Structure 1
Amino acid sequence: MARLSAARTTAATFAIALFALAAAVAVMATGPLGVAPDQLAAALFGHGSPDAELALTLRGPRLLAAMTCGAALAGAGAGFQILFRNPLAAPDLLGVSSGAGLGAALALLLGAGAALVQGAAFAGGLATGAIALACAAMTRSGDGRLALILCGVVAGALAAAGLGLVVVVAEPYSQLPSITWWLLGSFTRATMAEALMAVIPAGIGAAILIWLGFRLDILSLGDEQAQSLGLPARPLRILALCAAALMTSAAVAVAGLVGWIGLLAPHAARLVVGEQAGRLLPAAMATGALFALLIDRLATAFGPAELPVGLLSAAVGAPAFLFLFVVSSRRS
């Protein structure tokens, strides 16, 4: 029976991933630069028509960035929820998103280019997460998870305060609009180089979390139980937290502050594949990629004036999360 259940959950994960890929093909096939799937496949290998190659060049980076960021945020959220046994845990649990926002805002304030803005956001997110981890280690609290949550809240609040100060200081006509637009979240300006720069750290973080697998389930029971089973609890927990922070920083560096994906996607995947980390993480990443892709497509459906992705993710994610909460409560 366990094998049958594992086969079903694996099939469900593949189905979600295939649905996300089908949605990506559908997005490329519609719109002003829509191309047929066969032409798109030929363009991927450099043998497509000029129109197909143009569409792939212009729309491909945005599509890749959306799916990468959605998968990264969902995987980080699932990792945090498993580690802390907290269904409300999100990718910003260690203040990573706020730190990345502060780094990007400072770079924009100084007039940096797109590459430097992305690098500053990535560095700011990792620095905030490192501060939270260091402060939690200094407390030497008996409940390490509670100390991490509290230190993450403090680090995130400090980064948010710094971000507010940057917004106040920014020049209102030239600097403030770009800072505000970035903070609201968008995949519009993503280039192929930026998308690939997000794929690498996000892929490394995802590989680490998936490799940890069942170890995350054991770590969620507490350090004493993990050590009794022969697992080095503290190093593995720090490794998992660093992997989740790396994924979050990569996503925020490309797209800005896009909320709710890291909270909603793991809950949706959990209803299908269950609680085990080895099954939940891939399913959550596939669900997050699909959700980000659909939200990004929705952002362009209201005419020439494109809506911010972060705004739409909250508008759609909040009622969707409430619906999932009601469904899961009735099941339990």
Structure 2
Amino acid sequence: MDPLTRQRGPAASLVLALLALAGAATVLATGPLAAPPEALIAALFGEGPPEAELALALRGPRLLAAMTCGAALAGAGAGFQILFRNPLASPDLLGVTSGAGFGAALALLLGAGVFLTQSAAFAGGLHAGALAVACAALTRSGDGRLALILCGIVVGALATAGLGVVVIAAEPYSQLPSITWWLLGSFTRATGAEAVLALAPVALGAAILLALGFRLDVLSLGDEQARSLGLRATPLRLLALAAAALMTSAAVAVAGVVGWIGLLAPHAARRVVGERAGALIPASMAVGALFALLIDRLSTAFGPVEIPVGLLSAAVGAPAFLILFVVTSRRA
């Protein structure tokens, strides 16, 4: 990474975070129940006009859920890409999202509440990621990156099969509609309590990844380099994996399966702040939050019927990633 990119990394991350906050203020200040920014700020302290307080009460939880989930998926995706030295690594390709989705869907089938659903999603995502890593280690392949992707696809397929079993077992009139809508991804049903509850695991996972900081950069160079500097590669990798899985599971438990954010946002942020984990992870979280706001706003922009954000994230994210990949490759 060039010295200019190294120097502008923290400042660029701050600018991206401010853009995400500005995007949130724009969403609240436009559309239904619109309120001017100064009224919204006053409403945060309980001194705003009734329309601003109503906008925060009705649209605030969904806005907070979208930003939290987008930041969580993007931060986890950046952690995976750094950790496994693989630009294609993401919660989707490594099976963590599918595993978390299976765990959460099973909890919903059993009638669990929000806390147990998030716990089940965390357990499913963690076990899926650990299984993918373990299978890749057993192959002893010369190209560990390819083995990891293939094992992640296999684990994701197994988790998807489990999801199919849950869908078949669900009661068709009471359980199945909610599980199906949740699997397509949506911020519609997110309550204030769920959004706030998701903040804790996301903040914890992000804090762990940021605390690891340069250790992740060293791990990206290989285990031998890490050991030469006195770092224990395996425990650090497992800790980072658990943190990324925790962030992913919290997002899946609140919004369902929303793909592409964890893959696209780190690539976009990397163009601005470079490869260092200390700058890339917060920048990716800011880009992910902004992208989630965009697709959530688009989901309600095509008429009275809301489009699931999981479908929109793929429809918008896939072409955007292709364009970003082509531009990057041609410049390289």
Is the TM-score greater than 0.5? yes
**Do structure 1's residue 83 and structure 2's residue 73 form an aligned pair?**
no
Kept in 1, the 8 Å contact 2:5–2:272? The answer is no
Tell me, in whole angstroms, the C-alpha distance in 1 between the residues paired with 2:226 and 2:70. 31
The residue that corresponds to 1:16 in the other structure is 16
Aligned 1:98-137 pairs, distance under 5 A:
98-114=98-114, 116-132=116-132
Q: What are the superposed Cα offsets for residues 222-280 of structure 1, whole Å, 9 maximum, x if unpaired?
A: 11111012211111111111111111111111110000000000111111111222221
Kept in 1, the 8 Å contact 2:6–2:274? The answer is no
Aligned 1:27-106 pairs, distance under 5 A:
27-106=27-106
The residue that corresponds to 2:217 in the other structure is 217
Query: Could you list the runs of 5+ residues in structure 1 that have no partner in the other structure?
Result: none
The residue that corresponds to 1:315 in the other structure is 315
Classify the secondary structure of the residue corresponding to 2:92. Answer: helix
Following superposition, the deviation at residue 220 of structure 1 comes to: 1.1
Following superposition, the deviation at residue 326 of structure 1 comes to: 1.0
Aligned-residue CA RMSD in angstroms?
Answer: 2.3
Following superposition, the deviation at residue 140 of structure 1 comes to: 9.1
Alpha-carbon distance change, 143 to 75 in structure 1, aligned in 2, over 3 angstroms: farther
Aligned 1:113-192 pairs, distance under 5 A:
113-114=113-114, 116-132=116-132, 139=138, 141=140, 149=149, 151-192=151-192
Tell me, in whole angstroms, the C-alpha distance in 2 between the residues paired with 1:80 and 1:94. 9
Query: Could you list the runs of 5+ residues in structure 2 that have no partner in the other structure?
Result: none
The residue that corresponds to 2:284 in the other structure is 284
Kept in 2, the 8 Å contact 1:104–1:120? The answer is yes
Tell me, in whole angstroms, the C-alpha distance in 1 between the residues paired with 2:245 and 2:152. 11
Kept in 2, the 8 Å contact 1:136–1:144? The answer is no
Kept in 2, the 8 Å contact 1:198–1:250? The answer is yes
Tell me, in whole angstroms, the C-alpha distance in 2 between the residues paired with 1:5 and 1:158. 41
Tell me, in whole angstroms, the C-alpha distance in 2 between the residues paired with 1:318 and 1:153. 18
Kept in 1, the 8 Å contact 2:35–2:52? The answer is yes
Amino acid at match of 1:255: A
Following superposition, the deviation at residue 281 of structure 1 comes to: 1.1
Aligned length: 331
Instruction: Return 115-124 or 49-58, whichever deviates more.
Output: 115-124
Instruction: Return 45-54 or 116-125, whichever deviates more.
Output: 116-125
The residue that corresponds to 1:302 in the other structure is 302
Alpha-carbon distance change, 113 to 232 in structure 1, aligned in 2, over 3 angstroms: closer
Tell me, in whole angstroms, the C-alpha distance in 2 between the residues paired with 1:279 and 1:93. 23
Alpha-carbon distance change, 43 to 120 in structure 1, aligned in 2, over 3 angstroms: same
**Do structure 1's residue 234 and structure 2's residue 234 form an aligned pair?**
yes
Kept in 1, the 8 Å contact 2:94–2:129? The answer is yes
Alpha-carbon distance change, 3 to 136 in structure 1, aligned in 2, over 3 angstroms: closer
Tell me, in whole angstroms, the C-alpha distance in 1 between the residues paired with 2:288 and 2:11. 17
Tell me, in whole angstroms, the C-alpha distance in 2 between the residues paired with 1:189 and 1:122. 20
TM-score normalised over the length of structure 2: 0.92
